[in-house]
Amino acid sequence: MKLKVKDLDIATGGILIAILNHKDASKLDIFSGDRVAVKFKNRKINCIVDISVSDKMIPEGRIGLFEEVLAQLKIREGNIIDVVDIGKPKSITHIRKKLYGHRLNYQEFYEIVKDITDDYLTDIEKTYFVSSCFINGLSDQEVVDLTRAMVDTGKKINFNGIILDKHCVGGVPGNRTTMIVTPIIAAAGFIMPKTSSRAITSPAGTADTMECLANVSLSEKEIKHVIKKSNACIVHGGAINLAPADDKIILVEHPLAIDAEGQLIASVMAKKYSVSANHVLIDIPMGKSTKSQNEQEAKHLKRKFEFIGKKLNMDVKVIITDGSQPIGKGIGPLLEAKDVMGVLSNDPNAPEDLKEKSLQLAGLLLKMSGKYKNGYKKAKEILESGQALKKMNEIISLQGKKKEVKLAKHSYDIKAKKSGVIKEINNRTIAKIARIAGAPQDKAAGLYLYKKVGDKVKKDEILFKIYSNSESRLKLAKEIYQNFDCFIF
């Protein structure tokens, strides 16, 4: 069917949408969510149909296209394009199979993950995939196949020899150990191609934090160069397309806050596998407001990770850590970067818990390399001798040093309403306050903790300081604190 292009001047990212008038949709016998090929000259792209029930913006004979479609087809308002119904992709059949409780093989996962990567499945279809994997569960073989499919639909970076890597399952604000562990490992002579993510629902990801110090958007070639010179890097994985389906799956999990175990493991392992890691340490923080709320859950996840690692020929070790409160003092990219540099510089005011946890993780990784019996001792030696700081500066300079981020213009002190001993700090509320203050987009926004669990506090003593470059955000962040008390005495 020939239709005239209407430029909608909207770009929402993600799936490619074509809006048809309800009469034209009926002529083609297609429904909202069905697929059409939109053709112009020798170019063609597949879109998902949305149907306009009003004739105002999209009258009969017109097709409303978003900016992404116009750009890819190199067309504009008024061009005549051809629209053809192309039916459903094969991946829908596989999703249906999983929904009916059957197991999927590598090829089937590959086709689903490829279509997700290419933004070729609708929210409804992706949700059926996520929910059927979640409810029916994934067998160990399925997790392995899903991991491989995620790797094979993205970029792979090849390294030889012992390649160390780490990952934290998340949920603990301020937990920026990666930026301390990586230079220690690199200084010990091992390769650690660390790719990290940006924050999705947290106030800072390692990529956001590292970006206060250095450029993190590197090409594959640049990453290889940095690693050749310094043994390691700390870059944003999203910039080099490692297992790109993962982020798109997470977006569908977000509305119901689903934590699908199989998908979590596949997601983590795919990113490690994509950079050729063969010795991987997984940190599972356990606490009331983290993913693993009790020992049973944490241990179950540990066993799964280790088992899947074995199936993928990776040496995977899991450490269960304390997730009952934030790690370090700063929450938010700049404030966390300051904590990290404090530890690396052996600053006596640097947070002791961040240092201790980083040494523990680095020690375990050094032990996994097979070269050190007492990894912890070696890690401590590297950190305290200044070798780790030197290595970090080398990595920063190779990735491209950034101009220093300025302190936030506005701040506000939150004071204790009563005296007592702090029993608990709610990670979720702390994260929410930092986000409302502007983190991670406002790199200087966040909060700085003066008190942690176990500290004795007098009434009116400062508990933490909120930082923001926006006065209105600072006000909102204060309100969050009033509504959800996050320090439990």
- Beta-carbon contacts of 449 under 8 Å, excluding residues fewer than 6 positions away, are 174, 326, 329, 330, 331, 425, 430, 463, 464
Answer for the pair 38, 67: CB distance below 8 angstroms, yes or no. Answer: no
Asked if residues 40 and 79 have their Cβ atoms less than 8 Å apart, the reply is yes
Our finding on whether 256 is near a copy of itself (CB under 8 A) is yes
Q: CB of residue 82 vs a copy of itself: minimum separation in angstroms?
A: 14
**67, 118, 315, 455: which one binds a copy of itself (CB under 8 A):** 67
We find the least distance from the C-beta atom of residue 114 to a copy of itself, in angstroms, to be: 18
Q: Does 92 bind a copy of itself (CB under 8 A)?
A: yes
Place of tokens 């029916």: 136
Task: Find the binder of a copy of itself among 42, 160, 257, 349 (CB under 8 A).
Answer: 257
Strand partners, 191: 163
Binding residue for a copy of itself, selected from 125, 283, 353, 394, defined by CB under 8 A? 125
Stretch near a copy of itself under the rule CB under 8 A, chosen from 119-127, 143-151, 184-192, 270-278: 119-127
Catalytic: 259? yes
- CA separation for the pair 304, 80 (Å, rounded): 54
- 80-85/2-7 β-pairing: antiparallel
Nearest distance from C-beta of residue 261 to a copy of itself, angstroms: 12
**418 contributes a contact to a copy of itself by CB under 8 A:** no
CA 38 from chain centre, in angstroms, equals: 33
Q: Which of 131, 195, 209, 325 binds a copy of itself (CB under 8 A)?
A: 131
Q: Which is nearer to a copy of itself, 57 or 488 (CB)?
A: 57
Figure out which of the listed residues 289, 354, 473, 486 binds a copy of itself, where binding follows CB under 8 A.
473
H-run or E-run covering 91: helix 90-99
Cβ–Cβ contacts within 10 Å for residue 71, how many?
A: 12
99 binds a copy of itself per the rule CB under 8 A: yes
Residue window 21-60: x/- pattern of binding to a copy of itself, with contact defined by CB under 8 A: -----xx-x-xxx----------------xxxxx-xxx--
449 pairs with which residues across the strands?
A: 464
What's the closest the beta carbon of residue 287 comes to a copy of itself, in angstroms? 21
Q: Which two tokens stand for residue 392?
A: 């970090």
Q: Which of 190, 408, 10, 137 is nearest to 18 (CA)?
A: 10
The minimum distance between CB 110 and a copy of itself, in angstroms, equals 19
If one asks whether residue 407 binds a copy of itself (CB under 8 A), the answer comes out as no
Residue 64 to residue 250: CA distance in whole angstroms: 28
Considering only 136, 141, 387, 393, the residue that binds a copy of itself (CB under 8 A) is: 136
Question: Which three-class secondary structure state does DSSP give residue 458?
Answer: coil
Q: Are 371 and 430 in contact (CB under 8 A)?
A: no
Cα 316 from Cα 438, distance rounded (Å)? 36
To a copy of itself, the closest distance from the beta carbon of 393 in angstroms equals 32
Q: Applying CB under 8 A, which of residues 279, 329, 435, 452 lies at the interface with a copy of itself?
A: 435
* Total residues in contact with a copy of itself, by rule CB under 8 A: 54
Q: Interaction with a copy of itself in 195-254: which residues (CB under 8 A)? A: 251-252, 254
Which of 9, 29, 165, 259 is catalytic? The answer is: 259
Q: Considering only 75-83, 122-130, 334-342, 387-395, which stretch makes contact with a copy of itself by CB under 8 A?
A: 122-130
Name the residue with tokens 């008390």: 485
Closest approach of a copy of itself to the CB of residue 1, in Å: 9
255 is a site residue for a copy of itself (CB under 8 A) = yes
Q: How far is the CB of 464 from a copy of itself (least distance, A)?
A: 19
Reading the block at residue 373, the tokens are: 């019996």
Q: Which of 238-246, 255-263, 411-419, 443-451 is the region at the interface with a copy of itself (rule: CB under 8 A)? A: 255-263
Q: The tokens of 398 are what?
A: 């190779």
Sequence letter at residue 323: G
d(Cα 62, Cα 209) in Å, to the nearest integer? 47
Task: Tell which positions 1-20 bind a copy of itself, by CB under 8 A.
Answer: 8-13, 19
Burial bucket for residue 464 (CB in 10 Å: 0-12, 13-18, 19+):
buried
Q: Could you give the strand order of the β-sheet that contains 410-415, starting from the edge strand earlier in sequence?
A: 330-331, 446-449, 462-468, 410-415
Q: For tokens 């590959």, what's the residue? A: 110
Per-residue burial over 265-301, b = 16 or more CB atoms within 10 Å of its CB, e = otherwise: bbbbbbbbbbbbbbbbbbbbbbbebbbbeeeebbeeb
Q: Which C-beta is closer to a copy of itself: that of 131 or that of 196?
A: 131
Determine which residue in the list 45, 84, 86, 258 makes contact with a copy of itself, applying CB under 8 A: 258
- Judged by CB under 8 A, does residue 432 bind a copy of itself? yes
Q: For a copy of itself, which residue of 21, 122, 202, 399 counts as binding (CB under 8 A)?
A: 122
Is 101 among the residues that bind a copy of itself (CB under 8 A)? yes
Touching a copy of itself, residues 440-469 (CB under 8 A): 441
DSSP state of 215: -
Cα 336 to Cα 358: distance, rounded to the nearest angstrom: 14
Least CB distance to a copy of itself at residue 435 (A): 5
Residues annotated as catalytic are 259
Binding stretches for a copy of itself (CB under 8 A): 8-13, 19, 26-27, 29, 31-33, 50-54, 56-58, 64, 67, 88, 92, 95-96, 99, 101, 122-125, 127-128, 131-132, 134-136, 251-252, 254-258, 432, 435-436, 438, 441, 470, 473
